[in-house]
Structures are given as C-alpha cells and as structure tokens.
Structure 1
Amino acid sequence: MGTTGTPTNLTQGSRTRGGIGESTLRPDGILKVTGEFAYSSDMWHEDMLWGQILRSTVAHAEIVSIDTGEALATPGVYAVMTYDDLPTEVKNYGLEIQDTPVLAHGKVRHHGEPVAIVAADHPETARRAAAKIKVEYRELPVITDEASATAPDAILIHEGRDDHHIGHVPHPNIVHRQPIVRGNVEEAAKKADFVVKGEYTFGMQDQAFLGPESGLAVPAEDGGVDLYIATQWLHSDLRQIAPVLGLPEDKVRMTLSGVGGAFGGREDLSMQIHACLLALRTGKPVKIVYNRFESFFGHVHRHPAKLYYEHGATKDGKLTHLKARIVLDGGAYASASPAVVGNASSLGAGPYVVDDVDIEAIALYTNNPPCGAMRGFGAVQACFAYEAQMDKLADKVGMDRVAFRQLNAMEQGTVMPTGQVVDSPAPVAELLRRVKAMPMPPEQQWLTAGEAADVRQLPGGLSNTTHGEGVVRGVGYAVGIKNVGFSEGFDDYSTAKVRMEVVGGEPVATVHTAMAEVGQGGVTVHAQIARTELGVAQVTIQPADTQVGSAGSTSASRQTYVTGGAVKNSCELVREKVLELGRRKFGTYHPAWATAELLLEGGKVVTDGGEVLADLVDVLGDESVEIEAEWRHRPTEAFDLRTGQGFGHVQYTFAAHRAVVEVDTELGLVKVIELACAQDVGKALNPLSVLGQIQGGTTQGLGIAVMEEIIVDPKTAKVKNPSFTDYLIPTILDTPTIPVDVLELADDHAPYGLRGIGEAPTLSSTPAVLAAIRNATGLELNRTPVRPEHLTGK
C-alpha cells in the first residue's frame, strides 16, 4: 500500500448495502468534525448547580482537621460535604478491590486526592468556596518505589487489607503478584550459547483524552437520581455508585453522554458519585466539569514499570529460555492493577516460541498517582522490554533482526508460557515479512529542489534548530501480542436488545445496548451488523443507558467482539421470529417457505436461490418483534497463582511495525518519518474504522516513545507537569506517515471471524521507534520516553 493510508487486502462488503465489510460513515462524524457534537460538558439543566472538588495538596498525610465554615458561609453555596457527610456505611469504591474512598478519611494517599466537595450556583463561586476550606495535614513519609514499598519497616499504604489478593503477595504494599513458570529455566540456560540481560524503565503515560471528565446528576421525584455521564462502562459505574448513595440500582438511572475520548482513563469513577451526592443533598441538578489540571488528578494513568529481562539463544538463533521480572507501580489505589499484572506476566514472553520461562509480575501500592487501564495495559510495558531484548540477542547471534524474530515466531498451535494452545491464526512471521517489504520513504526529504533545507521536515521542525547537519537515519522493527476481551475467568458478556417493525411504510431495526461509544466506532458497526443480519436499510441505534443489560467495558479491544456478537445473536433471534411470522402468514401458499434456506435482504424474504417470497412490510404488518439477549464468548480460566498455567485469554491479536526516524545526534532531536504497520484483523467489519484504529493506536505508541511522561517528584510524590503545556502529546506536526497493510485471517471462534484490533498497534509502535533511534545513534536507550539529554549525554 502507499503512503495515503488506504488499507489493503480488505474483504468486500456484504450483499446488503451498508453491511459488514463496507466503509460506512460514522453517524457522529460530521458533528464531531464541525464542533456541533454534544459532549457531556455541554449539558445544561434549568436551575443547575455547579460542583467543585477540593483535592489534597500533599501526597501522604494524616488529616488533622477540616474546617468548612467559611466555605458554607459563601453566598451562592448550597452544600459542602466531607467524608463525615456521606449518607451510608459504604464509603469506598473500586473496580475489583473497593479501596478508594469517596472522600479522604483519616489520611490522604496521593497528590490530588478528593477531600471535600462543594455545590454552588456558579462555577467560580464553587471554586472560590472550595479554596476557603481549611485542611490541616500532618505529613507522612512517602512511598515511591519498590525499595520503599517493601522494606521491612515500610509504612503500609492500606492498613488492615482484607482483599482476596492479600493471601498470595509477599508484602501488604504489593497489590497482586502473578508468576508464569513453565519448563526449567536453569537447565535451559545451560544450553544457551548467548545470553543477554536488560533493565528497562517505562514512564507513566496519561490517556490525554481531549474531553475532560464531566457529568450531570439530576435528582428524581422517586428519590433516585438520573446521571448523564461520559464513561467507559455504565453498569460498572452503577455497581459502585448505588451502594454509596444508599439506593437500589434501579433508582440510579445512567445515560451515556458524549465522550471526548477515553483510552482506559474512564474505566474508573471520577466525579460520578460526587455529582450524585451533591444533587441528592441539594435537591437540584448538579454539573461537574474538570479543567485540564483537575483531569490529570481525576483519573488513573498508565503504570510506569521497571522490567528486568534475561534471554538466551543457541548459535543457530533459537531461543532457549526467558527469565523476567516486571514491577508495575499501581499508585495509591488498586484500580485495574490486578488485571494489568495478569496481562504483563502472561504476555511477557511476547509472540515467540520459548519453552522454558520464569516470569514474575507485581504491582505496588505507593503514594504516586493511581494507575489503571490504558490502551494495551500490561502488554505495552512488556513489549517494550522483550523487543529490545530481541534486537540485542539478534546482534549477539549475528542474525538480521527481522529474520531472528521470524525464526522464533509463534504460530497457530504454539503453546503459550501459560500452557494455553493458540488455536487461531498467529501470523507473526508473515506480518514481519509484510512490514519489511513495504517501500521505504525516500532519504533526505528535507531537501528542496534547490538543495536548501525545508526545516519543517527536519528534527526540531519550525524551531529552526538544524539544517541537516548531524542528522542520521535509523530503521527499527517490532512486533507484539495482545489479548482480546476480559480474561482469567471473568464472566465476559454483553447484552443487546433488537426490535424490528414497520415505520413509515418500511422495515426498521432498532438496536439498544449499553456499549459506551468513546470514539471507537461501535455505533457504526452495530448498524452494519443489523443491516447484514436483518436485511434492512434503516437501522436506529438507541442511546446507551442502564435500561438495558450490561455491555461490559469499552476496553480490552472487546466491544466489536462481545457487544457486536450480542447484536449479531439478537438479530439472528429476531430474524427467526420474523421468518416464523412469515411462515404462519404465507407458508401455506409457497412450499419454499419450508424447504429453502430463507434470508432477509433488501427488505424482503428471499430463498438461497434469490427468489423473493414476501416483502418484510407484509410479513410484519403492524406487529413488532423484539428480543433482548446476552451473548458470551467461550469461557476463560484464572491463572494458577503458583505457576501461571491456565486458559486465560479468549483471543490474541498481533501487529508489527517498522519505524523510520531521523535524529540530530548533536542536538538530541528526533523526527519520526514513518511508522509502517502490518496487522491481522481477522475480518474488517468496517475497513475505514480499522485503518483509523490502527493509525490512532500507532500514534499513541509514538507518544510514549519520544514525548509523553507524567513526572512525579520522587521526594514528595507530587505531580510536576499536570497540563498540556508541560505534558506533551503528538500533534499533526509530530505524526508521521502511517501506511497500513491489513491481513484478514479469520478466527473461527469469533463473530464473523473478527479479531479485536484497537490496542495491538500501541504495543509495537513504541519499541519500533526506540529500535530505530538506537539504530541511528548506537545508544542503548533502555527507557521511555527518549529525551534529548539521553541522546547527547548533556
């Protein structure tokens, strides 16, 4: 494919126009591009109050006292609430471990922790009142790394832990530990002709979504509350919110509002409970909108990590063994840390065949900012390390780096270090071949026709810092493996309600799920599935809310697989009901109703030979058919806590990248020229969306490679750069050409053979960029992100 980004090898569309396989346009696309789309921060309600959160100014301290008197006395303030004002005995929440207080009690555990909340008639009034709350702290020593967290005399972040992980961790400041042990590493190491070791540091990344946290809570006449919220998982929010409010779940009605990006940062609660508490306390609607500064404190981040790897290989290039230790910093609260540990450990060997493995992954409790889900969690950190190791080992053996990877690449039938057999296509070697075969970008693109330098094409860009002196090109490769869906025995299911009826003289399908549309394009895919399965042109997608069963989280590359599977399942059930209606009405007049395989296409009932039997309008008449059904993928199982063995993941997905960079070695400036990608997607339900997901994930991987990192002061555990002034993300000027080669090898276990795609490109793009920079500079570069001082030594 060329540099335009048009995907290749994509299946043609279905026989129904606008069905699966076609690049249908997003219904929200034009509104978002023109700025007319209504995000959660745009919501308004008559007589609405504004909420504000007071956050801790220190990372670890006892709370001596809180004085809210002056804030309460401020004109326009309707309520001020602290921990003591919470209405029930349930005062904590959490995705898996309920260790996060709604408002701090006794002590604060990280910089920016919520301490009090205020409701006022104007946002500025609320902010000024919050600033008048006087909190006296008695500061405590901070825990910021493994040494301070696991020392014999370490202060415990959470005293009296009683969660289900405490029995298998060696220290209470370790959230979760997962070993993966297979074979005999010590014996296998004796067969190695070459051994390489590496210690890698992975920085803390922010999801950096452009729409800050926001929502509107409206008290209801029945004593309940209606919450309009930007989130990734409505039903998980509901499960955590209702007990704190002391309400049954059916009295906490949640509706998804416009989401301005997520990437994992909206899996945890932010202002949901606070808005509901203030609305119920005041009897008025309460809206909370974070500013960017608050957003950096109001959601979890990607786990920073220390990774210690040892690989061995024979002189022929075959891997002999892997020994690894992965230490993830989970920050002050558990969030998704247990699942991140599971992914990092079980995928820590990468997409390679290695029979003898000893991997340990842990997540720490510290006083650093809480960390949880972010695109590709756990697998991203591991991929950075094992791909650096592959380059080192290939060089030791004396092999081409791509050929070395291909020699050791897993394939269908490979046994994972967890003992799970990979029972669907795993085209790792082919993806590497394809990405290496893609045309290289021309050299010295910064030279104009007159041989003058176009600084826009140089490292440093319009800063005009170099005119090509000292600029060296480098090329690097990487490939990664990511799981799809919830794992380790989690009951991963989704629900879809589908109705078919005649509206305005034509058949219409309506699809209702609780899937959070966060920009991934699920609303488009659901309509495509309905058109394909029900043969109708008109499909209505109802807003996501909790009036339908759970769709799970929009994360883990799972929504098209699981909620798409649910929509497909419900459509199939509706189709059978519609055909049964037709058989009752017309079957006695035409034998094909009983003998042929009947299809719904173009608003008609047709035989497999194409004969039209009836119009759907006549079949349905004034009746409607509606079915709400759950759909589950095949079950997984928890990893053994001693050996890590188990069928832990339902599906694997793979992507490979080639990065081409230019580096000014004197100034330490990097420009990524191209990030070519080859990825297996199983089946491209919407080719244009597939391309967007791959290019978006690739760009986020570029960010962590060369610019993105939340800086936490190791002495105070305070965040030093909570703004887009100091936390840099890639802009269009930083984004390289991203040509994509898409492979479609169906997974027979998945709906339509599809494979989750959103996260895999984030894995391999980061180590590919680092490999290219190493190739250009000859430096080891064992950390992300790479900064100028790492390249110049200054």
Structure 2
Amino acid sequence: MRVTRAPAGLTQRGDRAGGTGGTGGIGESMPRPDGVLKVTGEFAYSSDLWHEDMLWGHTLRSPHAHARVDGIDISEALALPGVHAVLTHDDLPAATHYGLEIQDQPVLAKDVVRYEGEPVALVAADHPETARRAAARIRVAYTELPVVHDEAGATGPGAPVLHPGRTDHHAGHAGHPNIVHRQPVVRGDVAAAARDADVVVTGAYEVGMQDQAFLGPESGLAVPAEDGGVDLYIATQWLHVDQKQLAPVLGLPPDKVRLTLAGVGGAFGAREDLSMQAHACLLALRTGRPVKIVYNRYESFFGHVHRHPAKLAYEHGATRDGRLLYVKARIVLDGGAYASSSPAVVGNAASLGVGPYEVPNVHVEAVALYTNNPPCGAMRGFGAVQACFAYEAQMDKLAAALGMDPVELRQRNAMSEGSTLPTGQTVDSPAPVAELLRRVKARPLPPERQWETTRADGSLAADVRALPGGLSNTTHGEGVVRGVGYAVGIKNVGFSEGFDDYSTARVRLETLGGEAVATVHTAMAEVGQGGVTVHAQIARTELGVTQVGILPADTRVGSAGSTSASRQTYMTGGAVRNTCRAVRAEVLRRGAARFGWPDPDRLLLEGGKVVTADGEALAALADVLGDEAIDLELEFRHRPTQPFDPETGQGFGHVQYSFCAHRAVVEVDTELGLVKVVELAAAQDVGKAINPQAVVGQIHGGSVQGLGLAVMEEILVGPDGRVRNPSFTDYLIPTVLDTPAMPVDVLELADEHAPYGLRGIGEAPTLSSTPAVVAAIRQATGRALRRVPVRPEHIVRPDAGQE
C-alpha cells in the first residue's frame, strides 16, 4: 500500500481534531476487537444464539414463480408431535405487508405467490428437523399463472399487472404498472451534439444477477417479553428500519419491539430487507416461547434480495481529438417480484450512468421492472456497478475507434473538482479521476510467463498452479495470452435524493479505577466493515483517553441508519465525533468553573489530561470528572440533498462522491476459455484514512467482489422464474486461489464537508474492478464481451451471444 497525503497540484483540506488522543486515534492502523475471535472461530454469530426453552422456526416457501393460492391445509402439520404452531396469512395480527420504500411485500402470501421461494406458512417446533417435516406436511393448492420474466413480458401488450391497485408515489410517472420506478437524466441537446460528433460508438450490454454470498446465513432469536412485547436478537444492517417495519406487522408499538444486533456474518446489502425477522417474532408471540430461525444455504438464496440484473444500451459521441460530446443510455433493471430498494437503485444508475466524465449533453433513462424473478435490492455498488460496466466498455470501444490509448481518452474527459454532473450538481470536493488513472497505469506490470519453471536440466516447464484453470491441470501454457485493462468509476456516498439521512451516538465519560473511561453507544450494525474500531479511534482522538468501550448496538439508542451506502464512518463516525466534542466542551466547562481556567475553548484533551496548546498539563481528566459522569446523545446530519426532478433528473441529489480506478492483468487460455487474473491494482481517494489497514482491506474486498461478477458469479434464473443454482456448489465465488495480487494506492484528499475530510470507501472498488477485468480479457482475446460474468464459451465461441 502507498498512502499519498496530497499529490502535486492537489490540495488537502480538513478539520482539526480536539487533540492527538495518544495512541490508537484516527489515522492509525488499529486491530479489530473482533478480529482474533473471528479468525479462531470463537466469535458468536447470530446462528450461535441459544435460549434454554427455545423453539425452532421454519418457513414453507412457494415452489412456483407465479401462482394463485387456492387453499392451505395445515392439519397434518399441526398433528405432528413436537409442533407448537403453524401460521398462515390468516393468522397475522395486524399489517400484512412491509417494504423498505414501498409496502408491497406480504409477510406471508395469501392469494398469490409472485416468485419461487415466497413465504407461505410458518412452523414452530421443538426441533429444527421436526419443524422442517411439519412444513413438508402443509398442503397448498396452487394454480400456476403466466410468468413475467423480462421487459417484453412485463410491459408488452397483454402483460399481467403483478401489483394491481398500486398507488405509491413512485408509480405516478413510471408509465406502466409493472415499472417500479423510472428516472431520466437530461442535460443539453443530445440530438444537436450527435450531428456534430465525428465518431459515434454504440453498444448493448448485460449484467447477470449477482448474490451477496455472505458466509453467515440469515438467523435470529425472538424472545417474548413480559410486557407483551418482543426482544429480537438479529443479524441485520439497520436495526431501526427493521423495528419500523416490524411494529405494524406485529400489532405492537415500536417501543415494544426491541432489537439487539447479533453477530453478523457479512451483509453487502442483503440484510437491509426483512428476511426471517417478522416470522420469528410472530411465532414467539403466538407460542409464548423464544423462537430461533436459521436458514440453510439453499433457503438463504431465496430469503434475501440480489443485485439487479440489467440490460443497458449506450451511445457515445466524440470529436476526433477524443472529447465527449454526448452520451445516450437506457438502463433496464430487473427488480423481481417486489420493490425493495429498487427506486433508489434506479436513481443511482441514472444519475451516475455516464461515469466520472465531463459530458455536456446527456440523455439517460433508467427503469426498474416488476417481474416474477427473485426480488432484487441493495448490493454493494447499488446501481452504479451495472452502469460502470457499460460506460467503461463504451470508453474502450470509443478509444479503439479513435485510435487512442484508453487511459488517455479517460483522462482527457475526466471530471475534476468544479465539474458539473449531468444532474446539474457541481462537484465541490476533490475528484482526482485523472490522477487515479495515472497511478494505476504507472505501476510496473507483473512479470510475464510467471507460470514457467526451469527443470534441473535447464528446460522449461509449466507450473500448472499458476496457469488459467489452476490445479485442474487443464493447460500447460498452450494458447495462453496476456491482457491488460483499465476502468474507473464514480459512486455516491450516503443516502440521497432528499432522504433525511442522520445518525445518533451516545457517549459517556466517567472515572473508573482512577482513570477517565469513555463508552460509545450507537445502533450501527457492525457487519464486518470495522465501524466498532473506528468509533473507538474517534473517541480516543476527541477525548484524549486510552480506554474506550463500545456497547452492543440496539434500539435503546437513536437510529444510526443503515450500514450501507458507504455511509457509516461518515455518518455514525460524524455522530460519535460531534457527541465527543460536546462531552469535551462539558469537561472544559466544568474544569473552568472548578479551577478558574481562562479561555477553556483553547484547551485540549490529551493523554488523559487537560492540556494547553503548548502541551502544559493543567489537570487529570479523572480529577475534573470526579464522581459525576458526562453522558450525552446527539444526532448528526450531512448537508441536505434534493430529490431528482422526475422528468429531467436535475437536482443536488448526492452528498458526496467516491472514485476508484483499477488496472487488471489477466492471462487467458484462448482455446479453453479459462481466465486467471494475475494482478488487480487499484488507486482510490479516501479523503482521510481513519484506519489505513482497514481501508486497504475494504478496497481488497470490493475488488474481489467485482472480480467475481466479472468471471464467475451469477444466479441463473430460467424463463419459468426458477433459480437453477441456489447453492455454493453451483454458485461460484472467488476463493483465496482465485484472488490475485492487489496492490493499492490510497490518496487522502480531504472533503471539507465531511468529518475529518473522510470519504466513504466500501463500494467504489466494486464498480471499476469488473470492467477492468473484462477489458483485460477483451484485449487478450479480441472478443467483444458485452456480458458479465464472462463464461468460457464467450471466449472460445464467436456465436455465444457476445459478438
């Protein structure tokens, strides 16, 4: 890793913290408090929850993608010994539907099922196998209905309306009942620009359905309470939005639906929606016993949303010297059976659809459809991933048409601070797009033919472990060629389009054992991103203490928002910072009143002491506090955003942008269609690296997830809406053997609007890694490769739908 504070020609800005905070503050690579436990297998995940008298829950799911429910007979299931409850839609006590943005998803299907795997009934039993056997005894009479699988089926003549009577605010300008949401972005005059363009390139692209593939399946424990409420211990991404959706379904006030975060085994967006939360709570309230539900891997594939598959049509026009004149695009996202977060995904895809480039004339339209395919929603990159694959393929195609170096073309059109986006928003923080590209291109290439080894007699042999196909011994170097590809992307940070995005933190400072100790309490979901480490670092920095405790996340404190949108370090970190500063101000007020310090606002907290700007110690924090603790809770909000205009897409829609560039080096066996990614180098601006080692880990993780989309990861859904590969046997994800060397350049160019100048980092590397890998395969093979993931047949067969 190379960390760059401020490259030549670029400025660094940021606010000053209250003190250095001693060791363990911001800017240091602090170890994760849960790291050793996770590596050794001692960490308690939600699937490890246990209660001495608990029951086990199980969900009966539809085998059909679209069918009418004609009747449900639960008598055989109830008769099975050990069964304590069987619930159907008719047993729901209150609201029957939920949803993140649109309440269109039933807790349990009643009259119709809209996708394979939709929940139909629930069972609680004294053993998990008993619950599964009971569910198998439930008799459901179905009449299969026509399956809506694609755009033609969803919006063509005679298309069945999948959600009749829909009246939500998104439907008003969508144009068809099966369009979840539509967002155009219009700027300038594309028609006039097209007449002036010297070179025009078009392309049609496709992105498959990717799964978040977290390793910890959905699980949780619901415990009925004496006050008639319920306590839910759950692996989730947003405790308070779960509570908001659960309370109406359970017929309880929110204060009687209490959630505590259990150990989370990865998320990547799939835990934003409810999965088994309502089911466990309903069974617990019905039986009066704690109920635990744990999905197996097969059920997990049906129990959460996925990345939207997409079809994208692009047209780019430019001058002979490579200046972009216009971009036209249409982006169609398959939202599946229910809306989830599709409206926001559409907003991202449309507003970020031309990439990190200055384009004076733009016409982009993005839509999300209702179909009978599995529901799709949030996944790392959130609509920007699909667009980035297409617009970066277009930039390579345009560079080839112009006879120009693809990196030079990107740099020539790169946005920078002060650029105007297609939405009319001005980029008012560093946007080092050209610099990021320069860095990945300038990095030395890995040596060629690393798979060649020398025998004792001096002859050359192939080390099959380093060749495409790995240990399968499929090639010995015949037909293996190298390719290099580049890509860069733009991702928004935080919630957008006028959403009231805020986070809350409670901080307590007290004297324990003669030492000042801080305790931080937030509802932030720690899903592996390292937020608990960051919060402790901020508290040490702001309060000048060594000992910081982090309380479990729950709904006893105000909302921290979702662990998504690369927002938690910005938002909840900002809340921790501001609350710590309020606590510090109270410390100094008390000290000034007690000791008569002049100008207390000029004092700092460092090393457990109150010190002057010159470092003179005035008093120990413990002496200032005495027996009286300081306990404050504050909210933090970023500057407000605006909804995009529904017809033009104009508006201050996003609060911050994140940029990452990749260079991929691949080796391809052109005869067998096998790919080995040799190196995946990245350069990213992070504003401020609060924990530098964790920053690199996030960039590595996002890069590998993008690599997976490029060459292996796809949920295969047939025209009948059935999932063909709901297991890790058939849905492939990169392992350590597929992970290449991943050198990283980290730039720290502060955003003056953000706490400490930081920039959300977790998603941007997922954007550009995919098109960089595919660009490298294109260069190696000469294939057009318009679809991801790239399969072997796309490389070896010209007729495999790619040319």
Instruction: Give the shorter-chain TM-score range.
Output: over 0.9
Deviations 1:521-561 (A, max 9, x none): 00000000000000000000000000000000000000000
Q: Which residue of 2 aligns with 1:3?
A: none
Deviations 1:349-371 (A, max 9, x none): 10000010000000000000000
Q: Which residue of 2 aligns with 1:608?
A: 613
Q: Which residue of 1 aligns with 2:498?
A: 489
User: Secondary structure at 2:3's aligned position in 1?
Assistant: coil
| Residue 363 (structure 2) pairs with residue 358 (structure 1) | yes
Match runs of 1:684-723 below 5 Å: 684-714=689-719, 716-723=720-727
Alpha-carbon distance, 1:652 to partner: 0.3
For 1:178 and 1:596, how far apart are their aligned partners in 2? 48
Match runs of 1:209-220 below 5 Å: 209-220=214-225
User: Secondary structure at 1:569's aligned position in 2?
Assistant: helix
Alpha-carbon distance, 1:595 to partner: 6.5
User: Secondary structure at 1:483's aligned position in 2?
Assistant: strand
User: Secondary structure at 1:188's aligned position in 2?
Assistant: helix
User: Secondary structure at 1:302's aligned position in 2?
Assistant: coil
Using structure 2 for the length normalisation, give the TM-score: 0.97
Deviations 1:90-128 (A, max 9, x none): 100000100000000100000000000000000000000
Question: CA separation of 1:461/1:129 partners in 2, compared to 1, >3 Å: closer, same or farther?
Answer: same
* Equivalent position to 1:579, from 584, 588, 591: 588
Counterpart residue type for residue 68 of structure 1: I
Unaligned runs of 5+ in 2: 7-16
Alpha-carbon distance, 1:449 to partner: 2.9
Q: Which residue of 2 aligns with 1:183?
A: 188
Q: Which residue of 2 aligns with 1:449?
A: 454
For 2:601 and 2:298, how far apart are their aligned partners in 1? 63
Using structure 1 for the length normalisation, give the TM-score: 0.98
Question: CA separation of 1:15/1:273 partners in 2, compared to 1, >3 Å: closer, same or farther?
Answer: closer
For 1:726 and 1:226, how far apart are their aligned partners in 2? 37
For 1:253 and 1:15, how far apart are their aligned partners in 2? 35
Note if contact 1:48-1:285 (Cα within 8 Å) is conserved in structure 2: yes
Alpha-carbon distance, 1:505 to partner: 1.2
Give the CA RMSD over aligned residues: 1.0
Q: Which residue of 2 aligns with 1:139?
A: 144
Q: Which residue of 1 aligns with 2:273?
A: 268
Note if contact 1:178-1:341 (Cα within 8 Å) is conserved in structure 2: yes
* Equivalent position to 1:73, from 59, 79, 82: 79
| Residue 599 (structure 2) pairs with residue 563 (structure 1) | no
Note if contact 2:592-2:600 (Cα within 8 Å) is conserved in structure 1: no
User: Secondary structure at 1:212's aligned position in 2?
Assistant: coil
Counterpart residue type for residue 219 of structure 2: S
Alpha-carbon distance, 1:398 to partner: 1.2
* Equivalent position to 2:3, from 5, 8, 16: 8
Q: Which residue of 1 aligns with 2:776?
A: 772
Note if contact 1:460-1:670 (Cα within 8 Å) is conserved in structure 2: yes
Alpha-carbon distance, 1:594 to partner: 2.6
For 2:438 and 2:401, how far apart are their aligned partners in 1? 22
For 2:147 and 2:461, how far apart are their aligned partners in 1? 54
* Equivalent position to 1:463, from 472, 494, 501: 472
| Residue 280 (structure 2) pairs with residue 286 (structure 1) | no
Alpha-carbon distance, 1:165 to partner: 1.1
Q: Which residue of 1 aligns with 2:91?
A: 85
Deviations 1:277-311 (A, max 9, x none): 00000000000000000000000000000000000
User: Secondary structure at 1:448's aligned position in 2?
Assistant: strand
For 2:308 and 2:604, how far apart are their aligned partners in 1? 49
Counterpart residue type for residue 463 of structure 2: D
Match runs of 1:588-599 below 5 Å: 591=597, 593-594=598-599, 597-599=602-604
User: Secondary structure at 1:459's aligned position in 2?
Assistant: coil
Question: CA separation of 1:15/1:499 partners in 2, compared to 1, >3 Å: closer, same or farther?
Answer: closer
Question: CA separation of 1:323/1:612 partners in 2, compared to 1, >3 Å: closer, same or farther?
Answer: same
Counterpart residue type for residue 713 of structure 1: G
| Residue 761 (structure 2) pairs with residue 757 (structure 1) | yes
| Residue 336 (structure 2) pairs with residue 341 (structure 1) | no
Q: Which residue of 2 aligns with 1:49?
A: 55
Note if contact 2:215-2:266 (Cα within 8 Å) is conserved in structure 1: yes
Question: CA separation of 1:314/1:545 partners in 2, compared to 1, >3 Å: closer, same or farther?
Answer: same
Match runs of 1:404-415 below 5 Å: 404-415=409-420
For 2:353 and 2:599, how far apart are their aligned partners in 1? 54
Q: Which residue of 2 aligns with 1:782?
A: 786
Q: Which residue of 2 aligns with 1:115?
A: 120
Note if contact 1:265-1:374 (Cα within 8 Å) is conserved in structure 2: yes
* Equivalent position to 1:508, from 498, 507, 517: 517
Counterpart residue type for residue 723 of structure 1: S
| Residue 39 (structure 2) pairs with residue 33 (structure 1) | yes
For 1:586 and 1:301, how far apart are their aligned partners in 2? 60
Counterpart residue type for residue 73 of structure 2: D
For 2:697 and 2:207, how far apart are their aligned partners in 1? 26
Note if contact 1:301-1:373 (Cα within 8 Å) is conserved in structure 2: yes
Alpha-carbon distance, 1:8 to partner: 2.6
For 1:601 and 1:595, how far apart are their aligned partners in 2? 14
Note if contact 1:596-1:608 (Cα within 8 Å) is conserved in structure 2: no
Q: Which residue of 1 aligns with 2:733?
A: 729
For 1:467 and 1:561, how far apart are their aligned partners in 2? 49
Note if contact 2:678-2:740 (Cα within 8 Å) is conserved in structure 1: yes
Counterpart residue type for residue 721 of structure 2: A
User: Secondary structure at 1:490's aligned position in 2?
Assistant: coil
| Residue 530 (structure 2) pairs with residue 535 (structure 1) | no
User: Secondary structure at 1:372's aligned position in 2?
Assistant: coil
Counterpart residue type for residue 769 of structure 1: V
Alpha-carbon distance, 1:585 to partner: 1.1
Q: Which residue of 2 aligns with 1:254?
A: 259
| Residue 367 (structure 2) pairs with residue 367 (structure 1) | no
Alpha-carbon distance, 1:159 to partner: 0.8
Deviations 1:575-603 (A, max 9, x none): 0001111111111xxx5x43771000000
For 2:326 and 2:784, how far apart are their aligned partners in 1? 22
User: Secondary structure at 1:540's aligned position in 2?
Assistant: strand
Question: CA separation of 1:270/1:187 partners in 2, compared to 1, >3 Å: closer, same or farther?
Answer: same
User: Secondary structure at 2:169's aligned position in 1?
Assistant: coil
Alpha-carbon distance, 1:7 to partner: 3.9
Note if contact 1:10-1:684 (Cα within 8 Å) is conserved in structure 2: no
For 2:621 and 2:536, how far apart are their aligned partners in 1? 18
Counterpart residue type for residue 44 of structure 1: W
* Equivalent position to 1:518, from 527, 550, 569: 527
User: Secondary structure at 2:90's aligned position in 1?
Assistant: helix
Counterpart residue type for residue 731 of structure 1: T
Alpha-carbon distance, 1:16 to partner: 1.8
Mean Cα displacement is larger for which, 420-429 or 448-457? 448-457
Q: Which residue of 1 aligns with 2:629?
A: 624
Alpha-carbon distance, 1:48 to partner: 0.6
For 1:405 and 1:276, how far apart are their aligned partners in 2? 52
| Residue 422 (structure 2) pairs with residue 417 (structure 1) | yes
Counterpart residue type for residue 663 of structure 2: R
Deviations 1:168-225 (A, max 9, x none): 0110000000000000000011111000000000000000000000000000000000
Note if contact 1:14-1:21 (Cα within 8 Å) is conserved in structure 2: no
For 1:242 and 1:596, how far apart are their aligned partners in 2? 45
For 1:218 and 1:634, how far apart are their aligned partners in 2? 39
Q: Which residue of 1 aligns with 2:431?
A: 426
Note if contact 2:640-2:655 (Cα within 8 Å) is conserved in structure 1: yes
Unaligned runs of 5+ in 1: 1-5
Alpha-carbon distance, 1:397 to partner: 1.0
Note if contact 1:318-1:407 (Cα within 8 Å) is conserved in structure 2: yes
For 2:306 and 2:514, how far apart are their aligned partners in 1? 51
User: Secondary structure at 1:228's aligned position in 2?
Assistant: strand
Q: Percent identity?
A: 76
| Residue 249 (structure 2) pairs with residue 244 (structure 1) | yes
Q: Which residue of 1 aligns with 2:653?
A: 648
Counterpart residue type for residue 279 of structure 1: A
Counterpart residue type for residue 760 of structure 1: A
Q: Which residue of 1 aligns with 2:10?
A: none
For 2:291 and 2:636, how far apart are their aligned partners in 1? 36
